[in-house]
Structure 1
Amino acid sequence: MLSDKVKQFAPARLTADVSRLPEAERKALGKLIEASMRLDPIFDRQACAENPEIRERLLADSTPEGRDRLAYFDIMRGPWDRQDHHRPFAVDRPRPPGAGFYPEDLSADELHGWIGQRPGDRAAFESLFTLIRRAEGGLVAVPYSEAYAAWLGPSASLLEEAAALTENESLRRFLRSRAEAFRSDDYYASDKDWMDLDSQVEVTIGPYETYEDELLGLKASFESFVTVSDPEASGKLSRYKELLPEMERNLPIPDEVKTERGGESPIRVVDLVYSAGDARKSVQTIAFNLPNDERVRAEKGAKKVLLRNVIETKFELIMRPIAERILEPAQLEHLSAEAFFNETLFHELSHSLGPAFTGAEGARVEVRLALGSTYAALEEAKADVMGAYNILFMIRKGHFPESFREQLLVSYFAGLFRSTRFGVAEAHGKGAALQINRFLEERAARFDPGSRRFAVNTAELEAAITRLVRDLCLVQHRGDQQAARELLARYGEVSEPMRQALGGLAGIPIDLRPIYPLAGE
């Protein structure tokens, strides 16, 4: 029943202490929340071009079932169940793989054929920031700034109002350059300004992730995270960014596969006070690693942002109860909130490690483009397993105590089941399933059908982690879509042991349904 599905998302109040902020920064924070709200109508249309009309129809149904359908529609940000292979629940048609970015009847082959015959269209058609539409018997690329002007214009103005209020120069510079990017579709300069942002009030706002585009993995969705930072906590983690080059050198892959990137890579610990767009669909992000522009990464690295209040809430409401039901009782003593936090951190750090470009087809191509629709799930799996691999390296280097090893391995394995509950149609869930099934095959964990619990063999898991990091990086380095599809087909589904274990998690929330008091919610 839809009412049961709605209950799987636990209401959670997410806020921060803003009493220490100067009045000017509190006012700027309010403007940033307003600017972020303008992105929701954009993302709704990116997820499904007809979302506004569908929602209006659902609003008209005042029955209990109708109210549940509307509530679930709002959680899923559309009429398809993101937790169940995009199964339709508010329409009678399947989800188009291109979401709202392309004509629903457009195939990847047709698009590639069009570009092949018109190479001058390639840059616009493959841009992160264009929609593809049919016009006069052909195809056209429509810039986001044109397609979404009704919302981007007001959002840009609110960013500029916030810039006029703040006393922080780095925030002022970013807000002005990002407002200009909303009007020009050129995000390069403002991405670099965001990397330099160092403020008590911070915002990540713009078109970033390409998960919604399952046709080609090209088009970026709008989202926003409005946060209040903790400089002291951030400073304690800053030593890890200095170790990124050493982590790259330590990867279990040939030297020619390794990548040199910019070394700035700041780390921020923040509390989330508002999210919008792609950041507020079904499963709520606990951390992110941006920007995705490899030009900026080459120059300045990437910023890792840890949403502390979200991480802590998910550990207590979701992660701990899952582990208590799926792990052998003797291993529960190793479950660790600190390990969960650090696996989250090193997951984000690991997005900046490993192959960035491939020599596929004789040209230097971003791995993201070479792997197409297989990229997102493979990259999330890589970041997960490489995160664990790098923490093990940090233990050997003495940055964590040896006693942290079992906590990390047990907590990492248990945490994968939290992600699989997002559904294997979603990149993080499919990537987590790939890891679990690979580890089961390699006897790094065993499943007891009688108790429906797993026991981790920590020595075998450590070795299996190394092998999986190697294999995923080599697929990325080759830009091998066929190998990626085969890996995901073989391991990226819910296996029988997973099904039995997940079947015993009734009553544990799948994720959070955020409530933001500072936004008046």
Structure 2
Amino acid sequence: MRFLRRCTSLLAVSSTVVLAAACGGSSRAPAPPTPPPAPDASAPVDGAVTAPSLAERVKQFAPVRLMADVSKLPPSEKAALEKLVAAAKLMDSIFTRQAYRGNVELRASLASDTSPDGKAKLGYFDLMRGPWDRQDHFKPFAIEREHPKGAGFYPEDLTVEDFKAYVSAHPAEKAKLEDERTVVERNGDKLVAVPYSTAYAEWLKPAAALLLEAAKLTSDKNLKTFLTARAAAFASNDYYASDKAWMDLDGSVEITIGPYETYEDELLGLKASYESFVTVADPAASEKLAKYKKLLPAMEAHLPIPKELQTKRGGASPIRVVDLVYSSGDARKSVQTIAFNLPNDERVRKEKGAKKVLLRNLIEKKFDVIMQPIAQRVLAPGQLKNLSADAFFHEVLFHELSHSLGPAFVTVGGKKVEVRAALGESHAAIEEPKADVMGVYNLLYMIERGELPKDMHDKILVSYFAGLLRGVRFGVAEAHGQGNALQINRYLEDKAVTFDEPTGRFSIDLPKLEESVTKLVRDICMLQAAGDKASVDGMLAKYGVESPPIARATTALTGIPVDVAPVYPIAGEY
């Protein structure tokens, strides 16, 4: 899943509004300029990145205005929408502190330097949501210390070994310390788990009040139920009931708000970050895709793994096509998510499945601004005819569907635990490529079943590989980027894809790629089913790297934005 920020500097363009607001600054940004070509990606960069390099890196995130049609909303829903945006903005204040405990103070210090160098550093700080470059292995650029793997969730000096030793010595405290919604603090020699509801009460209490105000305004019964339940969850730290209520949202206005993804916690992969997506839905477009949720059991049964390793989950799994009105928190850092699959609670997934939400206006912008230019530059010319926006959209959908498929639980020490708990901080890096490759595997299965036209076959494979080249530019320090590198390198090893050094272009052997896709789905699922963290780490170490073909190809993409920096006019951003 999913991300970005913003302020008043032209160098920082739209990206600085969110963090400035989170720290008490302005909520508006000036009109963003058109970004000039990015610098040579091979330019040397060290821990103290020069201002010109940082300024150019800011410009690698192309500002795009994301609009949604709210003209048909009744007055009650428009009024509720305003409250939801206000609540969503509070998630930025929380995430700012979750990303790094010193972010607020450090940003204030950076903002005091109004020189061109200072503005460039502040602009990139706001894009990265902190002083480390998320696109370059968290290399420091506005601070001298290394990035803490535990982000703002643990004491900075706490190691994995320290944590595990403490939990082993204090088993009664294990559940609270490992809970995904607690902050770990030191109290002398003790580790103390502080519930999010306490640690972030300063922002959760007003956010809850805004959700309740929106609940009074809306005429949508399901939205009213969810908002009331989620407001209660902000106080109780128990999100189970509200996660189930969120699954029932099917109206014109929707919000996803709360602590979800654990990508920020690179120490143990346990702690969830706050984020929000405020959207306007397209019921007609959603209904066209509804047939796929009924086919999830068939997709599970078709996986190339033993039947006993397949998982039965709830069958609801609604699919929603929406347009973004606003996003915040973990959903708005450097690379922006184009879809998500929630909730992550396997109890809810077992009862009700998971909802797949496609952010249509953002998907369209990324295809036009990034994916098409990339393909034209690094794919063999003869294969460009198969690049397809429709195939890309379906791949985004099936990526999210595939998060709900495959092994979910493993037995560790005689106890049944979720796969993500067994794999810890390695889970995200292997789950993302699983969803990618399994999504393509399932799309080809849909063609085989006659659910999609046969002429989509080659378009699916070519657009899928082009999408990997887009995602690998996020950097192998990030779960999605590392997962994309893993896939590309596996296909190069299988000779399903070849790289021509003189031209710097990839050629795809479509039949071989289809075979390699099946093999990779099987291999990843078997590792997950075993809860085998060591083997997962081995696969990531071998394949999730910037190999020479990847390095050469990404260098050739100079001038093409790495990602987009969304601006939300409906939410007051300009």
* Short-chain TM bin: over 0.9
In structure 1, distance between residues paired with 2:547 and 2:134:
19
Question: What's 1:185 paired with?
Answer: 237
Q: 1:35 aligns with which of 84, 87, 94?
A: 87
**Which residue number in structure 1 is paired with residue 67 of structure 2?**
15
Question: Which residue in 1 is equivalent to 2:96?
Answer: 44
Counterpart residue type for residue 81 of structure 1: D
Tell me whether 1:245 sits opposite 2:297 in the alignment.
yes
Given residue 299 of structure 2, which amino acid in structure 1 is its aligned partner? M
Distance, in Å, in 2 between the alignment partners of 1:298 and 1:115 is 29
1:360 and 1:478 in contact (8 A); partners too = no
Deviations 1:64-106 (A, max 9, x none): 1111111111111000000000000110011010000000110
By how many angstroms is 1:362 displaced?
2.2
Contact 1:200 1:229 in 2 (8 A): yes
Partner residue, 2:362: 310
Q: Distance in 2 between matches of 1:460 and 1:360?
A: 36
The separation in 2 between residues aligned to 1:359 and 1:137, in whole angstroms, is: 32
Correspondence for 2:371: 319
Query: Alpha-carbon deviation of 1:401?
Result: 1.2
1:422 & 1:26 partners in 2: Cα distance? 36
SS in 2 for 1:19: coil
Matched residue, 1:331: 383
- Is 1:416 matched with 2:475? no
Q: 2:506 aligns with which of 423, 433, 454?
A: 454
Question: For each residue in 1:296-327, what CA deviation from the matched residue of structure 2 results, as whole angstroms up to 9, or x when unmatched?
Answer: 00000000000000000000000000000110
**Aligned residue number for residue 352 of structure 1:** 404
Residues 455-513 of structure 1, C-alpha deviations (whole Å, 9 max, x = no match) = 00000000000000000001000000110010000000000011111110001001111
Distance, in Å, in 2 between the alignment partners of 1:73 and 1:199 is 37
Inter-partner Cα distance in structure 1 for 2:113 and 2:413: 53
Q: Segments of 4+ in structure 1 off by > 2 A?
A: none
Aligned counterparts, 1:20-419, within 5 A: 20-419=72-471
Aligned residue for 2:358, secondary structure, equals strand
User: What's the secondary structure of 2:231's corresponding residue?
Assistant: helix
How far, CA to CA, are the matches of 1:465 and 1:58 in structure 2?
A: 47
SS at match of 1:98: coil
State TM-score, norm by structure 1: 1.00
Residues 372-521 of structure 1 aligned to structure 2 (within 5 Å)? 372-521=424-573
- Secondary structure of the 1:447 match is strand
SS in 2 for 1:421: helix
Q: Which amino acid aligns with 2:385?
A: E
Q: How far does residue 116 in structure 1 lie from its aligned partner after superposition?
A: 1.0
Superimposed CA distance per residue, residues 368-407 of structure 1 (whole angstroms, 9 cap, x where no aligned partner): 0100111001000100000000000000000111111100
Give the CA deviation at 1:109: 1.1
Inter-partner Cα distance in structure 2 for 1:87 and 1:276: 24
1:431-456 CA-to-partner distances (Å, cap 9, x unmatched) read 00000000000001000000000000
How far residue 360 of structure 1 moved from its aligned partner, in angstroms, is 2.7
- The residue type equivalent to 1:71 in the other structure is G
Amino acid across the alignment from 1:56: A
**Percent of paired sites with the same residue:** 61
Between 63-72 and 185-194, the greater mean CA deviation after superposition: 63-72
**1:190-229 CA deviation, whole Å, 9 max, x = no partner?**
0000001111000000000000000010000000000000
One-letter amino acid of the counterpart of residue 396, structure 1: E
Letter in 2 for 1:287: A
Q: Is the 8 A contact 1:367 1:477 kept in 2?
A: yes
Q: Secondary structure at the match of 1:96?
A: coil
AA in 2 matched with 1:276:
S
3-state DSSP class of the match of 1:403? helix
**Aligned-residue offset at 1:361:** 2.5
Q: Which residue identity is paired with 1:78?
A: G
Residue 417 of structure 1 deviates from its aligned partner by 0.9
**Per-residue deviation at 1:15?**
1.7
Letter in 1 for 2:155: P
What is the number of residues matched between the two proteins? 521
In 1, the alpha carbon distance for the partners of 2:126 and 2:216 equals 34
Query: How far, CA to CA, are the matches of 1:357 and 1:156 in structure 2?
Result: 33
CA–CA separation in structure 2 for the residues paired with 1:295 and 1:349? 17
**What is the CA–CA distance in structure 2 between the aligned matches of 1:223 and 1:243, rounded to whole Å?**
30
When structure 1 is superposed on structure 2, of 65-74 and 380-389 the one drifting more is: 65-74
Distance in 2 (CA, whole Å) between partners of 1:415 and 1:194 is 30
CA distance in 1, matches of 2:451, 2:371: 25
2:393 aligns to what SS in structure 1?
helix
Aligned AA (1:143) = P
The RMSD of aligned alpha carbons is 0.5
Aligned counterparts of 1:364 and 1:109: Cα–Cα separation in 2: 23
Provide the TM-score with structure 2 as the length reference: 0.90
Residue deviations 1:37-64 (CA, integer Å, cap 9, x gap) = 1111100000000000010001000011
Deviation at 1:120, TM superposition (A): 1.1
